[in-house]
Amino acid sequence: MRLQVALGERAYEILIGEGMMAVESTWHSMPIGETAMVVTDNHVGPLYADRLRDTLAALGVQTAVHQLAAGEQSKTLASWAAIMDQLAEERHDRTTTLIALGGGVVGDLAGFAAATWLRGVRYLQVPTTLLAQVDSSVGGKTGVNHALGKNLIGAFYQPSGVVADLDTLSTLPTRELVAGLAEVIKYGIIRDAKFFEFIEQQLDALLAGDTEQLGRAVVRACEIKAEVVAADERESGLREILNFGHTFAHALETLTEYAELNHGEAVAIGMVMAAELSVAEGWLAASVRDRIMRLIQRLLVLERLPKGLSIDEMIEAFQSDKKTRAGRLRFVLTRGLGHAETSEAVSQERLRKVLERFL
């Protein structure tokens, strides 16, 4: 399957299918020069880096590898600097293409490195997790975390292409599959009620790793992401809906120092909180909130809600959210399945009551 992210001169293709990483024809349509650096982590690298290097070598591409420790704790300026060091030591120039082979952390880091090395070189996304395939690999958000908040340092910098090899999903631990499915559910809530129904009907198959159903989910999620990004590349309006549940999620991740929840689990909890706030603000029927909660509870992630967090800590963490304007908190809420928008004036009293229910 080929999808297009329509961004004029920055347009690029998303290729989705089984076994695509090892097929030479996949790379014929990707803009890649004679040299490349694969950025990966110590979980994904041993599984796929050699396969990718061998495929690129057959095309005459000389490929280096930079491997970092897996996990959100590696999404730092120090990790970015280590990539810069290797690029400099190996004398990579502006013809080099960076290739992000891994999940969202690897993709964000490699993209930020590409945006900043010699003021910008090409990069390709080769996402190997469900979460990265349906979300972080598309749209050009790159960057690293700061101690005071997630993704505070970075740049909008579009990849030159995305290769989503569905075969890589077969090696995902269940927890990572669940994390990706949380983001898949998000697309149904914010943009496509029929897609939400599909997920309700097929969740057991998706959790079991059914390749056909996972492929359908990845394609539809990418279609929605591409449509939204094409309409609002730099998140000045419509694109904010992609952050449904994320204001809560990023606060949970920051306050637990990225050690208790992975991103998808935090998003799942955050979406339940956002649905609850939508009801409290009079936007959403309680019956729809219950439907959202039932589906997310089937992922078994709500049991992972961190203990010991205070309401005041959460509200303070919200202040670092990128949607905050002049100290005014803004949340993406839903008016019903398939429709979301940003609220400019959430009631502090109702927000505190929602947090009290969960914390």
Instruction: Catalogue the active-site residues.
Output: 119, 141, 183, 225, 235, 239, 243, 246, 250, 263
What is the rounded radius of gyration, in angstroms, for the C-alpha atoms of the chain? 20
β-bridge partners, 97? 36
Q: Is the distance from CB of 144 to CB of 153 less than 8 angstroms?
A: yes
Query: For residues 254 and 322, is the Cβ–Cβ distance under 8 A?
Result: no
- Which of 71, 70, 253, 49 has the alpha carbon at shortest distance from 168? 49
Q: Return the bridge partners of 163, or none.
A: 15
> CA 108, CA 151: separation in Å to the nearest integer?
9
CB 306 within 8 A of CB 289: no
Answer for the pair 182, 268: CB distance below 8 angstroms, yes or no: yes
Taking the C-alpha atoms of residue 272 and residue 276, their distance in angstroms, rounded to an integer, is 6
Q: Which residues contact 16 (CB under 8 A, 6 or more apart)?
A: 1, 2, 3, 133, 164, 166, 215, 218, 219, 222
Q: Which of 287, 296, 237, 235 is nearest to 267 (CA)?
A: 296
The distance of Cα 213 from the centroid of its chain, to the nearest Å, equals 20
